Amino acid sequence: MTKVINVENIITKFGNTLIHDDISFSIHKGEIFGILGGSGAGKSTLLRQLIMLQKFQSGNIQILGESLRGISHKTAHTLRQKWAVLFQFGALYSSLTVLENICLPLLEYTELPKGLIENMAMTKLSMVGLSGESAYLYPSELSGGMKKRVGLARALALDPELLFLDEPTSGLDPASAEAFDKLIVELRDMLGFSVIIVTHDLDTIRSALDRFIVLHNKKICFDGTYDAAINSDMTFLKEFLKAN
Amino acid sequence: MQRIQIQYLNANNLKVLIGNDWTKESLSNANTIEKEFLNLVDKTIIFDFINCLTIDSAGAVEILWIKNHLIKDGCKITYVNIDENHSKLLSFYEKNLQDKPQFSKKEYLFIERIGKWIIEGFQGVGNFLSFVGEMLFALLKLIISPWNFRFTAFIKHVDTSAIQAIGIITILSFLIGLVVAYQSAGYLAKVGADIFIVDISVMSVFRELSPIITAILITARSASSFTAEIGTMKITEEIDAMRTMGLDPFIFLVIPRVFALIITMPFLVFIADMAGMAGAYLVSHFQLGISLNDFIDRMYLEISVNELYVGLGKSPIYGAIIGVVGCYRGFQATGSTDSIGKLTTKSVVSALFWVIICDAIIAIALTKLGI
Ligand SMILES: Nc1ncnc2c1ncn2[C@@H]1O[C@H](COP(=O)(O)OP(=O)(O)OP(=O)(O)O)[C@@H](O)[C@H]1O
Ligand SMILES: [Mg+2]
């Protein structure tokens, strides 16, 4: 299996507070990978480091074969087109309609004709389970769950190889959350991208993740599958998976 | 390599060779590809994928679009030599193909637009009046229970809106005073009425320039920030949160801001007066050789103290206008963040508009009263 992400000995500090102390893990192609941990464990920080929004003090991260340490602007730019991020609250552009939000990356990065771009955007909208009626709505006219779906449709616009999701099911009702998990798995099976999810949701952990790490005390305290986690004899891990 | 190659097997049977890659990068000429299929009616068409290596979402959507178009024109389509992954991909996207709905934006007739405009105008006035009403109601509550006045917030706004503005107000008023005196000096020297420079400066600076300059600066600084602050709180539902906790946003947000401006405006205008006169004196001294004593004597003896009072007296009204308009626009924010930008612009423009209207009314009224 090829590694799409390889994280080696990451150390992160904010001022004098140590957040990550020597963290290493890797993610394989086509895998749905979870980053778990208690509140304040540094999950979002780690995700932001993976997508080059935040620096790390030492160690290295390799994504799709490129090393993020000392990366050139040009490589960073091409790399950014190969991944997509779904932020926790969708981060849709509020001055654009749903359709325009999804079209934006296609208009910016491809030379496709407008008609094809709109057909693609409408298809992606349907892939995330939204009907055409929402195409001309503005983000402020959408519910929280719809925002996430549109955010996902926008993330899928450029057929990313990597998909980063920050708490994709938080704030959704259990049925929608389950549907969202299913959607992610289905899309992965179909399109073959790798998915990195930061989550607290036990249902997601059980049903969608192939493998996950758990951050605890600034270190990775577990790296493996759900079955391995519940059968391990670490009390913290059991509590963590139960308490969630 | 061509994206597409059409071969006629016979009059009614065609074979379409799909090129090697159908991706976002290679489909910029999708429109010309589509054109080749426009006139095919009632044919049997084979899509041959033998050369096709990669298909992404753009390619799949394009192939499906062509296919649907042909089917609509009565053609029969079959795929041959397609690899299993591509076939799965195509059927996955086919399931999800949906048309863009028609965007029905109603076109209004000219007369309808005028009507709409008038109605919106009235609604605007109505909204503003109900805002002022709510504010007066909050004021009434405060008169009944004055200990609810948010003193800390008030002090904070006095600091940010007034104290931090003193520097810029002083500098600008000084320059304006200087310019006015300088412009008049040449003319007055010509007619030998040097000392009248004091009269002119006092008249213009005390009565008009200082209050207006101060109002303009305070509008630029405070009306805009009030709108942006309150608008953001509105959008992030902080104001709703306040209301549900039984806290009156008018008492917490509006009254401290408006009062901070009402109370501090006269002081700011007074500072502006002094700075303006300093500028005027500088010109009188160096251009016309008027000594400080003469300058001050003239100010005391000849000039009615009304000039000062009029300027100071109207400044709290300006403060009230700026504060109320700034807060009112903030409360109008809805939904998206870009409404805040628009409202901030509106807030500055309408605050200045009303300040100047008010100035004109006061000027006329005072002339009629002979003050
Ligand atoms: N910009 C920053 N400056 C200083 N400290 C920060 C900053 N960002 C995050 N932190 C600290 O880093 C730690 C990890 O934060 P992070 O947001 O990654 O947590 P998290 O695991 O995502 O938690 P949650 O599940 O609550 O979202 C926290 O203790 C936080 O206080
Ligand atoms: Mg977080």
Per-domain boundaries in chain B: 4-96, 151-369
> Is B258:B322 a contact under the CB 8 Å cutoff?
no
| C-alpha pair distances (Å), B117 with each of B47, B113, B114, B121, B339 | 57, 6, 5, 6, 19
Whether the pLDDT of residue B345 is over 90: the answer is yes
For all residues of chain A together, what is the average pLDDT?
A: 85
The mean pLDDT of A188-209, rounded to a whole number, is: 86
Task: For chains A and B, count residue pairs whose Cβ atoms are closer than 8 Å.
Answer: 82
Question: Is the CB of A45 within 6 Å of ligand 1?
Answer: yes
| Contact (Cβ atoms closer than 8 angstroms) between residue B18 and residue B63 | yes
Q: For B7-63, give the secondary structure using H, E and C.
A: EECCCCEEEEEECCEECHHHCCCHHHHHHCCCCCCCCEEEEECCCCCEECHHHHHHH
Of A66, A56, A64, nearest in space to A22 by CA: A56
Mean pLDDT, rounded, for B229-242 = 89
CB–CB of A128/A152 below 8 Å?
yes
pLDDT(B336) > 80: no
Structure tokens at B364: 């006329």
Contact: B57, A159; criterion CB under 8 Å = yes
Quote the minimal CA–CA distance from B45 to chain A in Å: 22
Q: Which residues of B touch A119 (CB under 8 A)?
A: 61-62, 65, 97, 100
At residue B283, φ and ψ (nearest 5 deg) are -65, -45
Q: Residue B302: which pLDDT band, with cuts at 50, 70 and 90?
A: low
In this predicted structure, the answer to whether residue A121 has a pLDDT above a threshold of 80 is yes
Band (pLDDT 50/70/90 cuts) for residue B240 is confident
**Cβ(A44) – ligand 1 distance below 6 Å:** yes
Question: In whole angstroms, what is the distance from residue B202 CA to residue B300 CA?
Answer: 11
Look at A190 and B88 and tell me if their CB atoms are within 8 Å.
yes
Using the mean position of ligand 1's atoms as its centre, give its distance from the Cα of residue A21 in Å: 14
Ligand 1: nearest atom to the Cα of A47 = 18
Ligand nearest to the backbone CA of A165? 2
Q: Which residues contact A123 (CB under 8 A, 6 or more apart)?
A: B57, B61, B93, B96, B97, B98
Looking at residue B165, the DSSP 8-state letter turns out to be: G
How far apart (Å, rounded) are the C-alpha atoms in residues B321 and B224?
13
- Rg (chain A; Cα; Å): 18
What DSSP designation does B105 have?
P
Is the C-alpha dihedral spanning B183, B187, B190, B192 positive or negative? negative
User: What does the pLDDT read at residue B215?
Assistant: 96
Q: Residue B197 — very low, low, confident or very high, per pLDDT cuts 50/70/90?
A: confident
Q: How far is CA B255 from CA A20, B59, B131, B261, in A?
A: 47, 60, 12, 10
Q: Which two tokens stand for residue A20?
A: 């990550």
B242/B263: higher pLDDT: B263
A111 touches B at CB < 8 Å: yes
B353 pLDDT above the threshold of 90: yes
CB contact under 8 A, A94 and B335: yes
Q: Pick B209 or A240 by higher pLDDT.
A: B209
In order of their start, the domains of chain A are 3-90+160-243 (3.40.50.300)
Top-confidence residue, A217 or A239: A217
Share of chain A above pLDDT 70, in %: 99
CB of A49 closer than 6 angstroms to any ligand 1 atom: no
**CATH class label, B4-96:** alpha beta
Q: Which of B37, B93, B89 shows the shortest CA–CA distance to B67?
A: B37
pLDDT at B165 exceeding the cut of 90: yes
Q: How close, in Å, is residue B3 to chain A by CA atoms?
A: 14
CB contact under 8 A, A94 and B27: no
Give whole-number Cα distances, A17 to A35, A57, A218, in Å: 21, 12, 10
Per-residue pLDDT for B313 more than 60?
yes
Among B230, B271, B257, smallest CA distance to B321 is for B257
- Is-contact A201 A177, C-beta < 8 A? yes
Amino acid at A100: E
> Contact at 8 Å (CB) between B14 and B7?
yes
- Residue percentage of chain A with pLDDT more than 90: 5
Residues from chain B that touch A109, judged by Cβ atoms under 8 A, are 24
Ligand 2 centroid to A36 CA: how many Å?
Answer: 10
Tell me which residues of chain A, numbers 42 to 61, contact chain B at a CB-CB cutoff of 8 Å: none
- Name residue A220's beta-bridge partners: A215
Structural contact between residues A12 and A42, judged by C-beta atoms closer than 8 angstroms: yes
**Residue B63: closest CA among chain A residues belongs to which residue?**
A116
Q: Which one, of A243, A239, A197, A231, lies nearest residue A50 by Cα?
A: A197
Instruction: Show the DSSP H helices in chain A as ranges.
Output: 43-50, 73-82, 98-109, 114-127, 144-155, 174-191, 202-207, 226-231, 235-243
Tokens coding A27: 């993610």
SS3 content of chain B, % helix, strand, coil (to 5): 75, 5, 20
At B314, the pLDDT band (50, 70, 90 cuts) reads: very high
pLDDT tens-digit map of B62-74:
888 888 888 888 8
Residue predicted with more confidence, B138 or A169:
B138
Q: What is the pLDDT of residue B2?
A: 65
Give B211's pLDDT tier (boundaries 50, 70, 90): very high
Using most ligand atoms within 8 A of CB, pick from A14, A46, A244 the residue to mutate for ligand 1: A14
Q: Ligand 1 mean position to A177 CA, how many Å?
A: 24
- pLDDT above 60 for A244: no
Q: What is the distance in A from the centroid of ligand 2 to the CA of A43? A: 6
CB atoms within 10 A of CB A102: 29
Q: What's the rounded mean pLDDT across residues A166-180?
A: 82
Top residue of B38, B63, B92, B106 to mutate, by most chain A CBs within 10 Å, is: B92
Rounded Cα distance between A41 and A38, Å, is 5
Cα-to-centroid distance, B249 and ligand 2 (Å): 31
Interacting residues of A91 by C-beta distance below 8 A, sequence separation 6+ = A151
pLDDT, greater one: A90 or B171: B171
pLDDT digits (tens, 9 = 90+) for A126-168: 888 888 888 888 888 888 888 888 988 898 888 888 999 888 8
What per-residue confidence (pLDDT) applies to B101?
A: 79
Which residue has a Cα nearest atom 18 of ligand 1?
A: A42
Q: What is the pTM of this model?
A: 0.73
pLDDT digits (tens, 9 = 90+) for B105-135: 677 788 888 998 999 999 999 999 999 999 9
Report whether pLDDT(B1) > 60. no
Inter-chain residue contact B97 with A106, CB threshold 8 Å = no
Contact residues on chain B for A190, CB-CB shorter than 8 A: 88-89, 92
- Does position A243 have pLDDT exceeding 70, yes or no? no
Q: How far is CA B351 from CA B258, B265, B356, B358, in A?
A: 13, 15, 9, 10
Given CA atoms B227, B230, B235, B236 in this order, what sign does their dihedral have?
positive
Q: What is the pLDDT of residue B233?
A: 92
* Greatest mean pLDDT among A94-98, A101-105, B89-93, B172-176: B172-176
Q: What is the pLDDT of residue B361?
A: 95
**Ligand 1 close to Cβ of residue A55 (< 6 A):** no
The pLDDT > 70 percentage for chain B reads 98
Burial of A14 (0-12, 13-18, 19+ CB in 10 A): exposed
Mean of pLDDT over chain B: 87
